[in-house]
Structure 1
């Protein structure tokens, strides 16, 4: 029988720690390996990427350390922030970069995820769910495989495998117990700080840093964005997760010291360009008018902001840069990001569809357009 494509596909795990907490007296060091084991035993053998979301300052120190040291990418959501919105945005963006076939494993019982899971399922993704004792039935109905949270972190089987009839594929994955071996599974691991004082190691680390800056400047050039320190920082912060925590100031200093990047001063504005290259043409995000873009663009944006998925994505954005990135990826893919930044400025200042906070200049934001009743 032909192997089901989901067996070897990658699996992204989205863990809402506030909704599914680490049980008391449970060894948190075993969670990642037990989740992996449960997936392998359920015939999911592809790469596994585990992301956990929580207010990290509220986590017990031993839980924090155990999670980050066992291959889990821990994302901090400040106290009072919306964990569910952060997860929803990242889930949507992950789908853009990872087309089906692929597996989503959501660890939560929050019904706010129901619509997103149903939509992902209709787009031919395989939906897995682990939930606490009480969970929304709408959420459970969206999943093809369902675990209880305590069963999953113990490495046990799903309690409803091969019972749902997903129209997107015919050969259901069957629970098949296998040896608890995870050598073949790739778990995403966070970068670790190497305290080795060896000079060659330090030079190598600096050369990582410089390469990140060069790639970032190339991205800004392609997107026609001014290469300021702020834009460089935003491009790294909302880009590849592996490099989001690097010290941008140090990286820029290393690039300048190695004469691979030049700092140019234009009055009070400081720009960074690759050595021996000219400054590229950039889009000025300020002073734009709706007439600079076709009417069809505005119709598309209005529909996007009125949709529940579009609103959730924008409302969860942490800055104008990230909001522009979301608009580009989910609504204006054919435009360069520089143009999208300009469009966002028009949306705020002229259309007034998005209203940012006066003091912080962004969050908390609101959307003035009414939400559409039917969002497909």
Structure 2
């Protein structure tokens, strides 16, 4: 990671730290989960018709051969419908080494973070920022497309913190992490290609 990007990431992390404190989520992110977030969205019909926002690690979950980002987005839309989610996809935020993938991401914004730690941190900050910035909005589906997070307390804590109003969807390569607060999951290959979705 370049010194400039590292400095930027540190500054953003500090800003989010204070935002977490102001929203009362700091104990959750650190792993001391309180009973205040023990409830989840019980009326799934609200989620089924809600919009979906996608956060995609394109290094952990690359575009399959023969496809481009637009084709994958169409397959993600189809996969959502197969699981009963009929709302529109509001946005797709992709993260990775854009220099190696630019010919397959025409028209998509890619946050250029080649190193895994920086990519994961930026993705988590964007994931949390979307929730904090829309805390009075209707329910929304937040889809994470990334590698194993079973031991990542940042993502696990964030998912638990926002589950009161956001339904989190997960797609991962091969073995899918056991994340108790995520009810809907797909293997990445099936979701990306549109094959064997059920």
- After superposition, residues 259-270 of structure 1 pair within 5 angstroms as none
Closer, same or farther: CA 116–62 of 1 in aligned 2, 3 Å: same
The alignment's TM-score, normalised by the length of structure 2, stands at: 0.65
Partner Cα distance (2:44, 2:56) in 1 = 28
1:98 to 104, 113, 134: 134
Partner Cα distance (1:22, 1:53) in 2 = 12
2:194 to 148, 155, 160: 155
> Which residue of structure 1 lines up, in the alignment, with residue 9 of structure 2?
none
Off by >6 Å, runs of 4+ in structure 1:
none
* Correspondence 1:146 to 2:146: no
The superposition leaves residues 225-262 of structure 1 with CA deviations (integer Å, 9 ceiling, x where unpaired) of xxxxxxxxxxxxxxxxxxxxxxxxxxxxxxxxxxxxxx
Indicate the SS of the match to 1:4: helix
CA RMSD of aligned residues (A): 2.4
- After superposition, residues 10-49 of structure 1 pair within 5 angstroms as 10-23=51-64, 25-28=65-68, 29-48=70-89, 49=91
1:15 touches 1:52 (CA, 8 Å); kept in 2? yes
1:6 to 47, 66, 71: 47
Task: Give the count of matched residue pairs.
Answer: 148
The superposition leaves residues 23-81 of structure 1 with CA deviations (integer Å, 9 ceiling, x where unpaired) of 3x33124111111121123222223121111121232x43233xx3xxx4322225576
Unaligned runs of 5+ in 2: 1-42
1:41 touches 1:157 (CA, 8 Å); kept in 2? no
> Which residue of structure 1 lines up, in the alignment, with residue 17 of structure 2?
none
Offset of 1:92 from its aligned partner?
0.7
1:110 to 129, 135, 148: 148
Closer, same or farther: CA 152–116 of 1 in aligned 2, 3 Å: same
Unaligned runs of 5+ in 1: 160-376
- After superposition, residues 196-235 of structure 1 pair within 5 angstroms as none
Closer, same or farther: CA 135–144 of 1 in aligned 2, 3 Å: closer
Partner Cα distance (1:80, 1:154) in 2 = 24
Larger RCO: 1 or 2 (CA < 8 Å, sep 6+): 2
2:145 touches 2:170 (CA, 8 Å); kept in 1? yes
Relative to total residues, which structure has the larger strand share, 1 or 2? 2
